[in-house]
Amino acid sequence: MTESFSTLRVNADRMSAAFIHLASIGATGDGGVSRVTFSEAHLAVRKWFRSEIENSGFEFRVDGAGNHSAFLSCGIKTAPTLLFGSHLDSVPNGGRFDGALGVMSALEVLRSVKESRIKLKLNLEAIDFTDEEGTHLSLFGSSALAGHLSVDDLQNPYSGHKEFFSALTRAGLTEETILHAVRSKKSIAGYLELHIEQGKHLERAGIDIGVVSAIVGYGSYRLSFIGRADHAGSTSMEDRLDAGQGASAFILAVREMVMRDFPNCVANVGKIEFAPGASNIVPARADLLLEFRSPDENQLSKLDTGLMELAHAKADQFGLMLLTEPLGKHKPNLMSADIQQTSQESCNVLGLSSTVLASGAIHDAQSLVDVCPIGMIFVPSVDGASHAPREFTKWEDCVNGANILLQTVLKLAAE
């Protein structure tokens, strides 16, 4: 059976035409797109995607969270569905590949499979998840489908209650329909997503395809270094309990420690505030926001401990008190080992080089980690750029990624 589909490839010209049209919707004129969830451009792209689905003769589906999909039945009533896709929304002034490549390649895979008339044991569904970028709620559509959203979650959208509900109305959704988007575990056989890497690993290594092993987990804290306010002119340097010095020493030491002891991890201090906050007062307090990520749960916990020890050591060194407030924690989401293997084998068959790597960014795939086996495929991002108009992936790499998606789908779904 393998012979019959291992030679099947996507129609690169058809996918290119669709992708070029897609990139013109919400185009910013400098190579980027702005398709913020439920903006005019986003509603326009959704309408266009629907017409593409219907014009190709697929069943169009929309659920209560506004997830749009093309459905190809295998003809077996009780068969579960293999889902694959990504998102058509973007950040403001984002790139034209993020999410869009995953949805366009998903539709192209569906078209290619339909034309091939290969017999399937699973239904196939190419999906565009609503608001992956979290204009309103992070991973909104995929979380709703996975049953992770509650009425409470809907009360605190990033965009504010008023804007969120007016946006829902524009899209014909309500709080109630969103909660109905949940699907049963047994109805979903797996979820696959092709995405641009949004980092430089593949490009730097000259590798065609990244088989994703995990989406990194993270931890975040508010750290407050507490010292004493003093006259910045008359207090000698050695007499100061300078919270700013302690916090700054910590920030520099974080970089050193992560690069030395945690090579697969990253850490970031994204915000710092000194109080009282004047050039002539020694800072009595420095509040900072720390975030760190790792693809490995054990390592994430070691990193957490290491960072807290470091913060205490720097506070001690400068005679400061330290307050630590955990803000969030999320363990890494692991991709299915079977799907990873399937994608790697497909790379071998197609003569493409591949490597296993973790995703530093979040993706819809992680919403489904406790629902079904998940898998992700990365293609190289030129200069690692993303969430910006200069985001770019060579077309050849996009087609390679689509073919690996196609082969992975077939290996999982063909009889």
For Zn ion, the binding residues (CB under 5 A) are: 98-99
* CB nearer Zn ion, residue 80 or residue 141: 141
- Let me know: does 22 contact 14? Beta carbons within 8 Å: no
Number of H helices, E strands in the chain: 12, 13
Q: Cβ of residue 177: shortest distance to Zn ion, in angstroms? A: 24
By beta-carbon proximity to Zn ion, the closer residue of 197 and 287 is: 197
Residue with Cβ nearer Zn ion (85 or 99): 99
Residue facing Zn ion at closest CB distance:
99
- Under DSSP, is residue 238 helix (H, G, I), strand (E, B) or coil? helix
Task: Please check whether residue 41 is in contact with residue 89, taking contact to mean a CB–CB distance below 8 angstroms.
Answer: no
Q: Which of 332, 250, 260 is nearest to 299 (CA)?
A: 332
Least separation in angstroms between CB 101 and Zn ion: 9
Minimal distance in Å, beta carbon 274 to Zn ion? 35
Beta-bridge mates of residue 325 = 222
Minimum distance from residue 289 beta carbon to Zn ion (Å): 23
Smaller CB distance to Zn ion: residue 98 or 128? 98
Task: Select 194 or 290, whichever has its Cβ closest to Zn ion.
Answer: 194
Nearer to Zn ion, 130 or 245 (CB): 130
Shortest distance, position 20 Cβ to Zn ion, whole Å: 19
Contact 367, 183 (CB under 8 A): no
The alpha carbon torsion through 326, 330, 332, 338 (nearest 10 deg) reads: 170
To Zn ion, the closest distance from the beta carbon of 222 in angstroms equals 28
Work out how close the CB of 356 gets to Zn ion at its nearest, in angstroms, rounded to a whole number: 20
Q: How far is the CB of 133 from Zn ion (least distance, A)?
A: 7
Q: At a CB cut-off of 8 Å and minimum separation 6, what does 401 contact?
A: 101, 105, 194, 209, 377, 378, 379
Q: Which two tokens stand for residue 21?
A: 């049209």
Give whichever of 98 and 397 is closer to Zn ion, judged by the CB atom: 98
Four-CA torsion 120, 122, 126, 127, nearest 10 degrees: 180
Query: CB of 362 within 8 A of CB of 387?
Result: no
- Hey, is 396 helix, strand or coil? helix
Q: Which tokens is 208 given?
A: 């065609």
C-beta closer to Zn ion: residue 299 or 381: 381
Least distance to Zn ion, CB of residue 304, Å: 27
| Residue in 116, 130, 115, 169 with CA at minimum distance from that of residue 49 | 130
Q: What is the dihedral of CA 137, 141, 147, 148, to 10 degrees?
A: -20
What's the token pair of residue 54? 């219907």
Closest CA to 210 of 78, 70, 360, 333: 360
Q: State which H helix or E strand residue 124 sits in.
A: strand 123-128
